[in-house]
Amino acid sequence: MNGLAAYLRGIGNRCLSAATALKTTLPYLIGTGERYRAATEEYPDRVSARMPEDLPPRFRGLLRNDIQACSGCRYCADTCPADCIHIETEPGPERNVSWVSVFDIDHARCMFCGLCV
Ligand code: SF4
Ligand code: SF4
């Protein structure tokens, strides 16, 4: 009899455990109730729909380099944690001045951390 009682108690405990978990997750699943709120967010942010409330006012959403002003120093590439900036330079007409022949940003890898900026 003791074995049966322990067995039934085990089933009861597991049902209670499942019910406790469902109390938390069910509102997310069915999308109703006062506890419901979105738990995930699209990344990168959907700029067109969410810019006013989600993004800081100075957010530009796209990295851009003024190649005329770039000296090819590679500080930005060295800073990038995702290693997504590729720079190639060639010797310029003056000493110690380089021409930037290639400046590529792999936007598929960029996480918009802004460190390069
Ligand atoms: S930090 Fe990058 S963008 Fe700025 S000058 Fe150096 S290489 Fe050019
Ligand atoms: S924003 Fe961050 S990840 Fe993107 S290129 Fe700049 S440093 Fe790299």
Q: What is the mean pLDDT of the chain?
A: 82
DSSP 8-state symbol, 28: H
Q: pLDDT-based confidence at 79, cuts 50/70/90?
A: very high
One-letter amino acid for residue 34 of the chain: E
Rounded Cα–Cα distance for residues 94 and 108 (Å): 36
73 neighbors 100 (Cβ within 8 angstroms) = no
Take atom 3 of ligand 2 and give the residue whose Cα is closest.
110
The domain locations on the chain are: 1-36, 62-117
State residue 57's pLDDT score: 64
Number of Cβ atoms within 10 Å of the Cβ of 105: 20
Q: What is the pLDDT of residues 17-66, one digit of tens each?
A: 999 998 888 877 777 666 666 667 666 665 555 555 666 666 666 788 89
Structure tokens at 5: 């009682």
Take atom 8 of ligand 1 and give the residue whose Cα is closest.
70
Architecture in CATH of 62-117: 2-Layer Sandwich (3.30)
Take atom 5 of ligand 2 and give the residue whose Cα is closest.
110
**63 CB less than 6 Å from ligand 1?**
no
Ligand 2 centroid to 92 CA: how many Å?
Answer: 27
